[in-house]
Amino acid sequence: MKREFSSRAELVAYVKAEFPECSAHGEEVSETRGGRRAAEALLAKVNPDRYARSRNFLSGAVTRLAPYLRHGVLSLGEVRRKALTKPNHEKLVNEYAWRDYWRRVYGQIGDGVWKDREEPKRRWRDQREQAELPADIASAKTGLACMDGFASELVTTGYMHNHARMWFASYVIHWRRVRWQAAAKFFLTHLLDGDPASNNLSFQWVASTFGAKPYLFNRENLEKYTDGKFCKVCARAKDCPFAKSYEQIDQELFQ
Amino acid sequence: MKPVVWMHEDCLRPILPGAPAIFVFENNGHSLKRLVFLYECLLELDVEIEKGEIVPLVRAFAARHGADKIVTAFTECPRLMGYARTLGADVVNDDPFVAAAGPFDLKRFSRYWQRIERQALKL
């Protein structure tokens, strides 16, 4: 295949023409550039200390290295060694270890990542499970500014902050009772870093089929770590399904 | 020995610098944004880019270069490692997260972390 392009636009047009089937997933192209140069530029900016203190905030000092790690542009060994040269690196190395862990589990169970690893720890009050991802979620039309914002960013850019992935997965699985596999497929299709190891096993962690309890959140938590940017403009701010205590949410969702 | 490298999408970095390398795009349902990202990664590497079926294309590439060995990078992906077996490729794990030898108890992350923590936090 061709190796010389005069511009990114020419490359994009070529890829579209050579792989026409990819248009089924949309026409968006991420601003995130592939390649070692872009990866090294990001790696040089990684600040483990700021990462440890701010990573749960959408505006936090996250690394944005995931697509490069997913595709082996950077190795996990290399980013670990780089982190160790900087102060307060324990949390960042621990998070890299999660990726290594998911990979090792994937190596053990292979396509078993698509099946429940364990029984879910709790049963939903409403047992009607949805096998497919509802259209309003995939097309960012739930009316919930946070979830629509996350879905829209995912489809447009191929990126979603890790905390947003957890909130989104929890909403889809526990509030909407969608089979985690359907939501995992949506992520795999659109994330630049989507891989069956980290992605599916993280969904299972949220679903509690690979973890001790279902992952839940509430509005207070989401509002804090998003600096309230979604709640301020949300049409459903007054009937927000997340504006409850954890106890209330637990009782509402589970038997 | 005259090796060639089969580069796959789980390891887009040189594992045997100087050896001719090939990457094959399969029809595996990637979005346009992922394909563009992968293509940009490949353009920075000295690698021949093809699309189609991996095994026959890699074999033809090896034959064209008069290679007596195909080398590829380790991945946990069963599909890609299946191709490696079919190709009779040498699989190298060039830079693992930690060098600790298994087997590991992977029931929960905490158990795994407990086992590797000391090594992971040491240069």
* Mean pLDDT, residues B54-68: 98
Mutate to test the interface with A, among B39, B44, B77, B107 (most CBs of A within 10 A): B39
Q: Which residues in chain A are contacts of B14 at CB distance < 8 A?
A: none
Say if the Cβ atoms of A15 and B35 lie within 8 Å. Answer: yes
pLDDT computed for residue B100 by the predictor = 82
Candidates A18, A97, A158; nearest CB to B33: A158
Residues B59 and B117 in one domain: no
Q: Which residues contact B66 (CB under 8 A, 6 or more apart)?
A: B2
Residues B56 and B24 in one domain: yes
* Mean pLDDT, residues A181-204: 97
3-state secondary structure A79-125: HHHHHHCCCCCHHHHHHHHHHHHHHHHHHHHHHHHHCCCCCCCCCEC
- Chains A and B form CB pairs within 8 A to the count of 163
- Asked if residue B102 has pLDDT above 90, the reply is no
Q: How far A137 CA lies from chain B's nearest CA (Å)?
A: 18
Candidates A29, A71, A93; nearest CB to B36: A29
Residues B7 and B65 in one domain: yes
Q: What is the ipTM of this complex?
A: 0.97
Burial environment of residue A247 by CB neighbours within 10 A (0 to 12, 13 to 18, 19 or more):
exposed
Please write the tens of the pLDDT for every residue from A89-98. 999 999 999 9
Q: How confident is the model at residue B53 (pLDDT cuts 50, 70, 90)?
A: very high
Say if the Cβ atoms of A37 and B44 lie within 8 Å. Answer: yes
Candidates B49, B112, B121; nearest CB to A93: B121
Residues B52 and B35 in one domain: yes
Candidates A1, A32, A67; nearest CB to B51: A1
Rounded CA-CA distance A197/B48 in Å is 28
Residues B87 and B103 in one domain: no
Residues B87 and B109 in one domain: no
User: Lowest-pLDDT range, A80-84, A221-225, B10-14, B92-96?
Assistant: B92-96
pLDDT computed for residue B28 by the predictor = 83
Residues B37 and B74 in one domain: yes
Please write the tens of the pLDDT for every residue from A43-80. 999 999 999 999 999 999 999 999 999 999 999 999 99
Residues B8 and B40 in one domain: yes
Q: What is the pTM of this model?
A: 0.96
Residues B78 and B48 in one domain: yes
Say if the Cβ atoms of B32 and A15 lie within 8 Å. Answer: yes
Regarding predicted confidence, which is higher, B101 or A77? A77
- Asked if residue B7 has pLDDT above 90, the reply is yes
Q: Please, what is the Cα angle at A166 between A164 and A168, to 5 degrees? A: 65
Count of structural domains, chain B? 2
pLDDT computed for residue A151 by the predictor = 98
Residues 45-64 of B with CB under 8 A from A: 45, 49-51
Mutate to test the interface with B, among A8, A81, A93 (most CBs of B within 10 A): A93
Residues B8 and B29 in one domain: yes
Candidates A21, A34, A106; nearest CB to B27: A21
Say if the Cβ atoms of A11 and B40 lie within 8 Å. Answer: yes
pLDDT above 90 covers a percentage of chain A that reads 98
- Asked if residue A127 has pLDDT above 90, the reply is no
Q: How confident is the model at residue A228 (pLDDT cuts 50, 70, 90)?
A: very high
- Asked if residue A85 has pLDDT above 90, the reply is yes
Tell me B6's DSSP state: E
Q: How confident is the model at residue B27 (pLDDT cuts 50, 70, 90)?
A: confident
pLDDT computed for residue B1 by the predictor = 83
User: In CATH terms, is domain A8-110 a member of 1.10.3720.10?
Assistant: no
User: Lowest-pLDDT range, A120-129, A135-144, B77-86?
Assistant: A120-129
- Average pLDDT over all residues of chain A: 97
Q: How far A236 CA lies from chain B's nearest CA (Å)?
A: 31
- Closest CA in chain B for residue A90: B121
Rounded CA-CA distance B78/B92 in Å is 15
Residues B82 and B109 in one domain: no
Please write the tens of the pLDDT for every residue from A206-225. 999 999 999 999 999 999 99
Q: How confident is the model at residue B94 (pLDDT cuts 50, 70, 90)?
A: confident
3-state secondary structure A45-64: HCCHHHHHHHCCCCCCCCCC
Please write the tens of the pLDDT for every residue from A238-254. 999 999 999 999 999 99
Where along chain A do its domains lie?
8-110, 135-253
Q: Which domain holds residue B65?
A: 3-92
CATH code at position B14:
3.40.50.620
User: In CATH terms, is domain A135-253 a member of 1.20.1740.10?
Assistant: no
Q: How confident is the model at residue A121 (pLDDT cuts 50, 70, 90)?
A: very high
CB of B40 closer than 8 Å to CB of A73:
no
- Closest CA in chain B for residue A88: B121
Residues B104 and B63 in one domain: no
pLDDT computed for residue A71 by the predictor = 98
